[in-house]
Structure 1
């Protein structure tokens, strides 16, 4: 598996999409980002992950490291790597430049103990079937200055899944063959 080579002019990040077989069937793991002034993703529901660092040998290593740092979940020992998913183009809030985020799918085979660091306020497992129920899909109004836009989302237990996280989730949510 090779990473995209971008010559350092564009940020790269990776996230881990974890699933497990729980009491409600297949469940997907999410974190809630900590609320911080000036952070455009403050409080958002997301997959654990972050920017690639120089010491990361690959983007998959970035996803594994960031998941460990943010949640204490050890994908190296308890996550069966399944596949790399499609790269997602977004923007870096640091320099308002393009950023590529690469999601990696892992089957979680460890226990439920989560140890959140300062970057996260919460973590939860949501049944995959919830996202496959058309009636659960909703919308929210996203505002940026004087501009507003209706965006698709899901509301679950007072949390909202939308944006880039929803875009990644939409790629996989109806593909049951990925979750075996």
Structure 2
């Protein structure tokens, strides 16, 4: 599973966090899936139209955009990558990390992340891999994806 570490930027509350490639729908995008494909290409150099095989669309997640109170809908798409493992990141990405699916699903690799908010500290569920911590929306998406493969075998995801 490919994760990116977002580039560190002042004013970005998720600066430096682990995430999936993605971004905003642009007027030229024919659909949310087209936006996901375009953003993945821009951020990682991975052409999903050419080397990806669409597997599934996960549930929409509602969040807010950075410091704004206006809600934002995140629509995750899952692809099987059939191209080279090399990744060419752009300025929005600090690094890319490939994490084995069986590692992500193992109970031993689940933990908690203390996240300070203006209202207090929350202990958020997370998965740690080497020096990376996957939490928040990315963790929620990951958990839904893992639930599609109850035996934690990624091949069963392909059947959906």
Establish whether TM, by shorter chain, passes 0.5: yes
Segments ≥4 residues shifted beyond 3 Å? none
Give the alignment's TM-score, normalised by structure 2.
0.91
Q: Measure how far apart 1:115 and its partner are.
A: 0.8
Change (3 A) 1:73 1:156: same
Q: Measure how far apart 1:167 and its partner are.
A: 0.3
**What SS does the corresponding residue of 1:51 show, helix, strand or coil?**
coil
Give the alignment's TM-score, normalised by structure 1.
0.81
Aligned twin of 1:30: 3
Structure 1 or 2: larger helix share?
2
Aligned twin of 1:20: none
Change (3 A) 1:116 1:164: same
Deviation string 1:110-144 (CA, Å, 9 cap, x unpaired) is 00121100000000110111122112111011111
More displaced, 40-49 or 82-91? 82-91
Aligned twin of 1:159: 132
RMSD: 1.2
Q: Measure how far apart 1:107 and its partner are.
A: 0.7
Q: Measure how far apart 1:173 and its partner are.
A: 1.3
Q: Measure how far apart 1:171 and its partner are.
A: 0.3
Q: Measure how far apart 1:70 and its partner are.
A: 0.4
Paired residues, number? 153
Aligned twin of 2:76: 103
The 5 Å alignment of 1:1-180 reads 28-93=1-66, 95-176=68-149, 177-179=156-158
**Aligned equivalents of 1:58, 1:42: Cα separation in 2:** 27
Would you say the 8 A contact 1:90–1:99 is kept in 2?
yes
More displaced, 58-67 or 96-105? 96-105
